[in-house]
Amino acid sequence: MKLGLCIEMVFAGLRFEDRIAAAAKAGLKHVEMWFVDGSYQGAAERLAAVSKEHGVEITNTVIGSPDGAIGGGLTDPANRQAWLDRVRKTLQFNQAAGIPATIVCTGNTVPGRSDGQMEASVLAGLEATLRLAEQSQVTLLLEPLNTHYDHPGYWLTSSDRGAEICRKLRSPRLRLLFDCYHMQVMEGNLLNHIERNLDVIGHLHSAGVPGRHELFRGETNYPYLVEAVERMGYDGVFALEYMPSMADDLSVRETLAHLGLT
């Protein structure tokens, strides 16, 4: 299984280029970032060169914020043009930087609109987004999140529902991002959810529950989970997206040791 690290949360005190170097020094070959105009403010081509220099692949970006404050989201059709403008900007950066995927967040629920209306808006927005993603050869990763602690009001909170949306649209460029932290909070029963939706899962995230700290701080048995998911045949990225509770270098070392990957 490929191991990834979100360098928006770990090594966040360093310059962005130095975060890539720090991840490489820790033995990681895959990292991920969030917005293309966020922590990193340089040219996409420069980022590609830095990644190549350190032998690290940046696996994905993020199009817009979960609540839709950045990008407008998908749940409200009134924001469609703002969303598609944001999509084009993100895909252009991904292409230039050689980043193969980007995360799609649905946005929050919209007052006055029914769940069915919001689902129809999400599907229509994803169809339009997919046309652009397919042209750019960038994969979309649709992410359910938790509303209890981190993203109150977020619309897509179920991995099963996210998987069904992926199946409805039937594009190899749309995959489910299964975040073990968020789904442990919302659903539990992680392995059964992963197994029945493995056909559309394209990426995994992880963090300790509760608290979103290191994987060894919490109720989830991640060493067992990683081994079980590998047995299922998953060969994508298992990414660490957590907030360190100790010095970053030590945090990464202890997390990798906990997973038995050192």
**pLDDT tens string 111-150:** 999 999 999 999 999 999 999 999 999 999 999 999 999 9
Question: What does the alpha-carbon distance between residue 155 and residue 110 come to, in Å, rounded to a whole number?
Answer: 9
**1 band by pLDDT with thresholds 50, 70 and 90:** confident
Cβ pair 30, 57 in contact under 8 A: yes
Query: Cα angle vertex 2, ends 139, 147, to 5°?
Result: 60
DSSP state letter for 103: E
| pTM of structure | 0.98
Sheet holding 30-32, edge to edge: 57-58, 30-32, 2-6, 237-240, 201-206, 174-179, 139-142, 101-104, 60-62
CATH of the domain at 197: 3.20.20.150
Question: What does the alpha-carbon distance between residue 216 and residue 197 come to, in Å, rounded to a whole number?
Answer: 25
How many structural domains are present in the chain?
Answer: 1
Stretch (H or E) spanning 31: strand 30-32
> Per-residue pLDDT for 262 more than 70?
no
Neighbours of 36 (CB within 10 A): 23
37-50 pLDDT, tens digit each: 999 999 999 999 99
The mean pLDDT value for 234-262 works out to 95
Nearest to 98 by CA among 55, 53, 151, 58: 58
Question: What does the alpha-carbon distance between residue 137 and residue 163 come to, in Å, rounded to a whole number?
Answer: 21
**Containing structural domain, residue 221:** 2-258
Q: Which residues are catalytic?
A: 143, 241
* Residue 2 φ then ψ, to 5°: -80, 135
**261 band by pLDDT with thresholds 50, 70 and 90:** confident
User: What is each CA distance from 83 to 31, 69, 113, in whole angstroms?
Assistant: 25, 10, 19
